[in-house]
């Protein structure tokens, strides 16, 4: 009986000690890692001549990658020139790969409402969502590339922003693809290469 009580006590003590250790955690350790010597951003320092802990960037430092490009190139990032005028032409080199990328992103993000051809009859609209205007309306054929970029970036009326879902380079690729869709519905057959023109003519007959 006495042995049993002792065992129970020992166990209670163990629970207490382990519990206390768990609660205090790493703070009982004398070396607090989170209290090591360091400078906060822009803090003073007597170590450097200018009295600041933060060091200036070395000369000729250039930001790299997409974010660096954004920081340096406002048109790419905003779709606007001088802060408020939509840029006429996308500030990227458009080739077949960009258009294919734009098609891929468009089909994922835009076609559910705007439809695969851009008529505004996507599946979500067929199920009752507000119908967007057709990309083949003269007004939307005439707007600047920067306007499309801006609608994706900031949203428009009932349409929400895609800024968090589509990265800037892909937004421009989508603009290039929308231009391709617009062209596809307004081709001047005489301007096509001969074999394409023939193929189209035979379809029209």
Where do contacts with ligand HEC occur on this chain (CB under 6 A)? 109-110, 112-114, 124, 129-130, 132-133, 148, 151-152, 156-159, 162, 166, 174
Give long-range contacts, CB 8 A cutoff, 24+ apart: 46-52: none
Cβ of residue 111: shortest distance to ligand HEC, in angstroms? 8
Q: Report the residue number, 94 or 110, with the smaller CB distance to ligand HEC.
A: 110
User: Which residue's CB comes closest to ligand HEC?
Assistant: 157
Cβ of residue 23: shortest distance to ligand HEC, in angstroms? 50
Which pair of tokens denotes residue 62? 């250039």
Cβ of residue 47: shortest distance to ligand HEC, in angstroms? 50
Which pair of tokens denotes residue 146? 């920067």
Cβ of residue 110: shortest distance to ligand HEC, in angstroms? 3
Q: Report the residue number, 130 or 196, with the smaller CB distance to ligand HEC.
A: 130
Q: Report the residue number, 20 or 158, with the smaller CB distance to ligand HEC.
A: 158
Q: Report the residue number, 86 or 192, with the smaller CB distance to ligand HEC.
A: 86
Cβ of residue 72: shortest distance to ligand HEC, in angstroms? 25
Q: Report the residue number, 164 or 203, with the smaller CB distance to ligand HEC.
A: 164
In whole angstroms, what is the distance from residue 152 CA to residue 11 CA?
A: 64
Angle at 119 between CA 199 and CA 185, to 5 degrees: 25
**1, 102, 103 from 117: Cα distances, Å:** 86, 13, 10
CB-based contact 146:87 (threshold 8 Å): yes
CB-based contact 85:151 (threshold 8 Å): no
Give residue for tokens 């596809």. 184
CB-based contact 87:79 (threshold 8 Å): yes
Q: Report the residue number, 104 or 197, with the smaller CB distance to ligand HEC.
A: 104
Cβ of residue 131: shortest distance to ligand HEC, in angstroms? 7
In whole angstroms, what is the distance from residue 48 CA to residue 205 CA?
A: 81
């Amino acid at each position: 009986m006495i042995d049993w009580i002792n065992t129970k006590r020992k166990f209670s003590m163990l629970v207490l000690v382990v519990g206390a250790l768990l609660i205090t955690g790493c703070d009982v350790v004398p070396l607090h890692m989170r209290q090591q010597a360091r400078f906060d951003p822009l803090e003073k320092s007597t170590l450097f001549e200018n009295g600041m802990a933060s060091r200036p960037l070395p000369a000729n430092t250039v930001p790299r990658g997409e974010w660096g490009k954004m920081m340096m190139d406002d048109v790419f990032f905003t779709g606007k020139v001088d802060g408020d005028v939509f840029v006429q032409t996308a500030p990227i080199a458009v080739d077949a790969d960009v258009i294919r990328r734009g098609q891929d992103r468009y089909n994922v993000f835009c076609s559910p409402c705007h439809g695969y051809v851009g008529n505004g009859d996507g599946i979500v609209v067929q199920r009752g969502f507000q119908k967007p205007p057709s990309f083949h309306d003269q007004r939307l054929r005439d707007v600047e590339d920067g306007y499309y970029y801006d609608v994706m970036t900031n949203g428009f009326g009932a349409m929400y922003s895609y800024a968090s879902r589509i990265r800037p380079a892909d937004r421009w690729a989508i603009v290039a693809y929308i231009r391709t869709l617009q062209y596809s519905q307004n081709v001047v057959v005489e301007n096509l290469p001969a074999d394409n023109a023939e193929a189209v003519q035979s379809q029209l007959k």
